[in-house]
Amino acid sequence: MKTVNRWIPIVARWFLGLVFAVFGLNGFLHFIPPMAPPPARALALAGALMGSGYLMQLVFATELAAGLLFLRGRFVALALALVAPVIVNIVAFHLFLAPAGLGLAAVVLAAEVYLAWTHRAAFAPMLRAAA
């Protein structure tokens, strides 16, 4: 059992690393073929974000950087903090606008929460009420 418990954080870290590195890189290189067209409201949001001219590039760069940090196993707590707002928006997007992708979003959220728990010592100083 000790061996399994030792490998779970590594598997979760690699999973998040692969997900964010691949999708972050796809944002720039477009190597994943488009799926079926999303619902109209989801398409409208995506169009607005793309139309900003910078926001999606920033999100893709953040995803790629965090994914590489996860894969390298360095600054994992920083990578967790970087992708936390991205994951919240991914889950909200699929929960409210495009429910078809909610399964993968839930697994990504579970991996994020689990890794945050395993690295909770790194987050303890910023969660103290007094400085």
Which tens digit of pLDDT belongs to each residue from 9-27? Answer: 999 999 999 999 999 999 9
Q: Looking at the predicted structure, is the pLDDT value of residue 112 above 90? A: yes
Reduced 3-state DSSP string for the chain: CHHHHHHHHHHHHHHHHHHHHHHHHHHHHCCCCCCCCCCHHHHHHHHHHHHCCCHHHHHHHHHHHHHHHHHHCCCHHHHHHHHHHHHHHHHHHHHHCCHHHHHHHHHHHHHHHHHHHHCHHHHHHHHCCCC
What is the pTM for the complete model shown? 0.91
Residue 70 lies in a domain: yes
Taking only the tens place, the pLDDT of each residue in 36-84 is 888 899 999 989 999 999 999 999 999 999 999 999 999 999 999 999 9
Residues spanned by the domain of 21: 2-123
Considering its fold, how many domains does the chain have in total? 1
Residue 128 lies in a domain: no
Residue 87 lies in a domain: yes
Residue 129 lies in a domain: no
Predicted confidence band at 1 (pLDDT cuts at 50, 70, 90)?
A: low
Residue 79 lies in a domain: yes
Q: Which residue has the higher pLDDT, 83 or 35?
A: 83
